[in-house]
Amino acid sequence: MIYARIHEKLQQHLSPLVAHQIKAVVGLILLFKLNSRDFTNFALWPDSVLLGYPIDIYPPDYVLTTGVFPFFDLVSFHFVHWFLPVPSATVFFYLQSTAIILSLLLVLAPIAFTRVLAVPLFILITYLWGFVYRGGQDIDAMFLITGALLIMAALPLSTKNYLATLRTSVLIWFFLYYFFSGVNKVVDLNYLDWFKFELTEINKVFVTRSAAEGFVYVPGIPTPEYLNRLLDFFGALISYIVHLLAPLMLISRSPNKMFLYWLFYSLFHFMTLYVGILFTANFFAWLMLVPFPGMIAGPRQTQGELKIVYDGECPFCSDFIKVANLRGRFESLSLHNARVRDELVTQLIADGYKLNSGMVVIMDGEILYGDEAARFIVINGSGGFRYHLYKLILQNRHLARMSYPVLVFLRKLYFRIVKKPELDDA
């Protein structure tokens, strides 16, 4: 059943905004993380501490299979230190700065550059945070982010139905994280211990230490005492069970359900604040998957004949038509280069349309010219970042009437700069 639903979602038509959404969330969280740490401090640590392993930190009865030699060195790219010394403070600075630049580019760059940026960024992030993990910090807080980054690095743009594969792969990664977090509790804890997580008592200890000893601020649980008892008894149980139900994310993931999953798991991450753990990154990581209007279901195809006449040698006009993705909406679409005097172009010129000053859209015999034609395209199109830039200035009728002549002027100015003749519509 799960395989069938995954296969179904892989065939789904998605807007390019889905990829921009994932890129932006990952990149912005990494920018926050990178700018809130100073990795040059690691150069001051003695090698005996810096090159220790996470397994050295946890108690002997804790099951830890990934924080051991040589597996940890291989997955964190720290195997280079089998041959090379730990970086100096200067090298750490340049590595961190490069990661910041790549994170910013990941947010801003077109989808075509996703993999090119994600590969070196994944290597840098994994390498830098390897030192953080050696200190037993941030392991859970980075799992979702680095996993999504790994998917972007591994997934070629040529993959069939790239957008659906990208989003589904990220969703599977979320499922693995939460489900095996629940499995971990089944393996590590006696079932009776599920009812013995004294959240309120632990919270009181942290609040006291925060006030008396200057520890990081931890808020007190603001619920009545009788609710605190219920929270102690059932809170962990409910959390563990819902983690084990994470496969539902793969089976049932309508927009409303995804908001519901985000609400619950965000509440779980928020509750950890009361025991001195802050999962801010995981809270915002859900923004990769929360669907916004128009991003999931592709536009329905419209019957009828659509014709567009525009300057085929104008790079801006061609880009505008391309990013609007009208072929996904209209069953019958024909594009006409106004520089080629076919029957339609000849007739339009004879009818007095100045094609050098405006494009033409003909929908079932109705002719739209200039700003009205451009407005029709942005209203009926669907696309990514560039399309939404066009839509921003052309969707509103009054704004389109003001901005379209400016765009025409800039187009003509471009032709003069590159010394290319304008369209002859005489």
pLDDT tens track, the chain, 426 positions: 454 555 455 555 677 888 999 999 999 999 999 999 999 999 998 887 788 887 777 655 554 556 778 888 999 999 999 999 999 999 999 999 999 999 999 999 999 999 999 999 999 999 999 999 887 777 777 889 999 999 999 999 888 788 888 988 998 999 898 888 878 766 666 666 666 666 676 767 767 776 666 666 666 666 676 666 776 677 677 777 777 888 877 776 666 677 777 777 776 666 665 555 667 788 889 889 887 644 444 445 555 688 999 988 888 888 888 888 887 677 788 899 988 888 888 888 888 888 888 999 998 888 999 999 999 998 888 766 788 788 888 888 888 899 999 999 998 888 889 888 887 765
Q: Give the integer Cα–Cα distance in Å for 97 and 64.
A: 32
CA gap 65, 72 in Å, rounded: 9
- Do residues 287 and 25 make contact, with C-beta atoms less than 8 angstroms apart? yes
Nearest Cα neighbor of 79 from 88, 70, 92 is: 70
Please tell me the pTM assigned to this model: 0.65
Q: Which DSSP letter does residue 336 get?
A: E
Q: What is the CA radius of gyration of the chain?
A: 28
Distance, in Å, from the CA atom of 65 to the CA atom of 67, rounded to the nearest integer, reads 6
| Preceding peptide of 70 cis, ω within 30° | yes
pLDDT number for residue 295: 47
Instruction: Give the list of residues 6+ apart from residue 136 with CB closer than 8 angstroms, or none.
Output: 54, 57, 58
Helices (H), 135-224: 139-154, 162-188, 199-213
pLDDT at 3: 46
The amino acid sitting at 380 is: N
* pLDDT, position 5: 53
Sheet architecture: strand order including 360-363: 330-337, 302-310, 360-363, 366-369
Q: What pLDDT is attached to residue 101?
A: 97
Segment holding 306, helix H or strand E = strand 302-310
Pairing of strands 302-310, 360-363: antiparallel
Closest to 115 measured CA to CA, from 158, 168, 69: 158
